[in-house]
Amino acid sequence: MSKVISHSLFTDFDIDLFKAGKHFRLYEKLGAHLVTVDNVEGVYFAVWAPTAHSVSVVGDFNFWTKGEHLLQVRWDSSGIWEGFIPTISKGTTYKYSIQSNNGGAITEKADPFAFYCEKPPHTASVVWDLEYQWKDTAWMETRQNHNGLDKPYSVYEVHLGSWKRHAEDNRFLTYLEFAEDLVNYIKETGFTHVEFMPIMEYPYDPSWGYQLVGYFAPTSRFGNPQEFMLLVDKLHEAGIGVILDWVPSHFPDDAHGLGFFDGSNLFEHPDRRKGYHPDWKSLVFNYGRNEVRSFLISNALFWLHHYHADGLRVDAVASMLYLDYSREEGEWEPNIYGGRENLDTISFLKEFNEAVYSNFEGVQTIAEESTSFPMVSRPTSVGGLGFGMKWMMGWMHDTLEYFQKDTVYRKYHQNDLTFSMTYTFSENFMLPLSHDEVVYGKKSIAGRMPGDEWQKFANLRLLYGYMFMHPGTKLLFMGCEFGQSSEWNFEGSLDWHLLQYPYHEGVKKLITDLNKLYKTQPALHEKQFSPEGFEWINYSDHQNAVMSFIRKGNEPKDAVIVVCNFTQVVRPNYRIGLPKKGKLIEIFNSDAENYGGSGVSNSKKIIIEAMPYDGRDYSAELLLPPLSVSVFKIS
């Protein structure tokens, strides 16, 4: 019997779809698949390598001997090499030994479609299956009730390698341990979703996962694919949605990876002006190549289908959209219309979003896009890119810039805060305080706050209160929810010991209550992307550094009144205009003693008077706590 038996999982229709860039379940055909041929169990291998001279499978089953298990190239010019190797089984480690037509050089490449990889620093692929008995049917059938744009969407961003480690030896936790500790913690603090920084296999820890090699394999640092599925299952059981960071923007040039895969620029663009990223010293996908589009869109749908992900946050979209991104004059070439937009990328992103939303109900795609590129979160049918949401980087930058200022100067910079409301409804914005804001000398979020210790934490509580009251969905990086003092260190655990101190425990209680308020007050989520859901009361009281506004839901009775005092001066008898008669009841106060505040509050119901103010017929006098957000309802 031949060592490699002729066998194929491809139909002519599969090949046509692949060549056209329309095969979105390519992972069912390419890669290593456990199959039975003529009653013999083994593995079918298929790899795309159109310019290779020969391809053989090497691994522990043949002592890594090149040329012993040669695959056959298909006759249809697809560039796919395939074959069935009998008797090898799940757990076998392997690579493709590819001899190039370009000088005959031989390289060993990991399988681009491998479902599992060796634990880094080892680099081989592992034959595996995706068998798992899911228990999240109830979640999957109703998740549109959790993921809709009119639902509360509060995201806890997590880097699994550094959320928590074993104290005795700094070992990683496993997926199974996360399924207990992390799930319980997210449930306790009330976040609606978790976002995992990339969990696809990556070789280099300092990349934080943003330099991927195994696009179809959850990293083996924490366990095997089924154990990651269990983690997702447990999150769904707890009512928590799962968002995965996805990186279609670039990939590393590691010898075993996608770069120069078959001796040619197979996955990366052959023009270095488009195929190399100067910021990250990495390679950029060729979005105009149909087979590459099939690879990427198949990958996106793979995580939504086989791992029940509820959303994908797409990294570095701005770097994909512009031909001149991080490039000097002469280092880029304009598009056919003379512009700087990458037309292939725009087409790809639209097709990606259309494929996601047409194949899966109740999911969201979220763009990390930092420019003013129009209609990122608008449907492709009206000319948009088709994302569900977009990160509001302008809000993040302006807000942090404002909060770092000493309170005495804030009256001169109130426009830094109010400016966001001039464009906040131009996209479906998510407000992010992400990992990028707590590294590289920026300090932690808590570390940026001015003043003495009390003022720092009061400012931090004010920042979070303002964030949750501002229109849009929310994202907070791990550790921020308890006021981590130091910058994030990916090589160790978060500083959990800080929770023994009242100020840090108070911040955690505040975030927990803000999540509860966001979920239980319809006015804070039902119209979070609509101008109908927001109305200023007064944004021009620069002198006192106070601003007030109304958030609205579908029902008038659900409206909430928000008043922010951005200085440490207590302001008694502070009058604001209101829309109707009644009584004001304080439902949230970031200065509460429970959070570490001074306890200044409006403890009694406040009578709304028929006294014109702020251009309204009615008004009331409030007591504004120092450095605080106060939230009221009208009864």
The pLDDT of residue 102 is 79
Q: What is the DSSP letter of 580?
A: S
Res. 1: pLDDT tops 60: no
Q: Across residues 528-541, what is the average pLDDT?
A: 97
Residue 176's Cβ-count burial label (10 Å; 0-12, 13-18, 19+) is middle
Sequence-ordered alpha helix ranges (H) in 451-555: 453-469, 502-520
Is 396 within a domain? Answer: no
Note the maximum CA span of the chain. 95
Contacts of 231 (CB under 8 A, 6+ apart): 175, 176, 178, 179, 182, 183
Helix 225-237 with 175-189: angle, nearest 10 deg: 20
Is 138 within a domain? Answer: no
Q: Across residues 50-72, what is the average pLDDT?
A: 96
Is 257 within a domain? Answer: no
Is 569 within a domain? Answer: yes
The pLDDT of residue 415 is 95
Average pLDDT score, the chain: 96
The pLDDT of residue 540 is 95
Res. 290: pLDDT tops 80: yes
Report the run of H or E that residue 157 belongs to, with start and end.
strand 154-158
- Residue ending a domain, among 126, 158, 185, is 126
Task: Give the Cα separation of 278 and 523 in Å (integer).
Answer: 44
Six token digits for residue 568: 């440490």
Is 173 within a domain? Answer: no
Tell me: the pLDDT tens digits for 428-482?
Answer: 999 999 999 999 999 999 999 999 999 999 999 999 999 999 999 999 999 999 9
Please state the φ and ψ torsions of residue 386, each to the nearest 5 degrees.
Answer: 95, 5
Helix 502-520 with 453-469: angle, nearest 10 deg: 10
CA-based R_g, the chain, Å? 27
Q: What is the DSSP letter of 602?
A: -
Task: Give the Cα separation of 481 and 509 in Å (integer).
Answer: 9
Torsion sign, CA atoms 585, 589, 593, 594: positive
- Residue ending a domain, among 106, 126, 146, is 126
Please state the φ and ψ torsions of residue 21, each to the nearest 5 degrees.
Answer: 75, 25
Please report where in the chains the tokens 């977009």 appear, as a residue: 390
Q: How many CB atoms lie within 10 A of CB 166?
A: 12
Task: Give the Cα separation of 113 and 352 in Å (integer).
Answer: 18
Q: Across residues 370-387, what is the average pLDDT?
A: 96
Task: Give the Cα separation of 10 and 57 in Å (integer).
Answer: 19
Q: Answer yes or no: are the C-beta atoms of 297 and 314 closer than 8 Å.
A: no
Q: Across residues 224-234, what is the average pLDDT?
A: 98
Res. 568: pLDDT tops 70: yes
CATH number at residue 70: 2.60.40.10
Task: Give the Cα separation of 338 and 269 in Å (integer).
Answer: 20
CA-based nearest residue to 256, from 197, 204, 187, 305: 204
CATH number at residue 539: 2.60.40.1180
Task: Give the Cα separation of 203 and 318 in Å (integer).
Answer: 24
Q: What is the DSSP letter of 264?
A: S
Q: Per the structure, how many domains does the chain have?
A: 2
Please report where in the chains the tokens 């289908």 appear, as a residue: 305
Q: How many CA atoms lie within 13 A of 269 on its CB side?
A: 20
Q: Across residues 16-41, what is the average pLDDT?
A: 97
User: Apex CA 269: angle with CA 266 and CA 271, to 5°?
Assistant: 125
The pLDDT of residue 2 is 58
Res. 393: pLDDT tops 80: yes
Task: Give the Cα separation of 344 and 160 in Å (integer).
Answer: 33
Is 592 within a domain? Answer: yes
CA-based nearest residue to 425, from 379, 463, 392: 392
Task: Give the Cα separation of 390 and 80 in Å (integer).
Answer: 37
Q: Across residues 331-336, what is the average pLDDT?
A: 94
Is 18 within a domain? Answer: yes
Q: Answer yes or no: are the C-beta atoms of 591 and 601 closer than 8 Å.
A: yes
Tell me: the pLDDT tens digits for 146-183?
Answer: 999 999 999 999 999 999 999 999 999 999 999 999 99
Is 469 within a domain? Answer: no
Q: Across residues 584-597, what is the average pLDDT?
A: 97
Res. 228: pLDDT tops 60: yes
Task: Give the Cα separation of 225 and 208 in Å (integer).
Answer: 19
Torsion of CA 535, 538, 539, 543, to 10 degrees: -170
Any idea which residues carry the catalytic annotation?
315, 368
Domain limits for position 570: 532-634
Q: Answer yes or no: are the C-beta atoms of 507 and 596 closer than 8 Å.
A: yes
User: Binning pLDDT at 50, 70 and 90, where does residue 104 land?
Assistant: confident
